[in-house]
Amino acid sequence: MSKLKEKLSRIVQEADDSLLEGLDNFVNHLREEQEPYNLSDAQKRELDQRMERYEAGEGMSHSWEDVKKSISKDA
């Protein structure tokens, strides 16, 4: 067993329930973030349509500078 695993094992054995619950929540949160997000077929079609319009020059896009200028004008 690696030293890190031994250290963590000792910590877990000596920890109170509130620390263990916090660790469990933290690990679960990390696992949730690593799970791939699956789009529905309808969402995939919508993204494909938007990309087609963008590539055909039909979609509007703005530079970040233009967006910031627009926001500051409205404020």
What ranges do the domains of the chain cover? 3-59
Per-residue pLDDT for 75 more than 70?
no
pTM: 0.38
Residue 72 structure tokens:
């500051």
pLDDT at residue 32 tops 80: no
The pLDDT of residue 8: 86
The answer to whether the CB of 12 falls within 8 A of the CB of 20 is yes
Q: Which helix (H) or strand (E) holds 30?
A: helix 17-34
Specify the residue for token string 């949160």. Answer: 29
Three-state DSSP at 10 gives: helix
Share of the chain above pLDDT 90, in %: 17
What is the predicted pLDDT for the residue at 45? 95
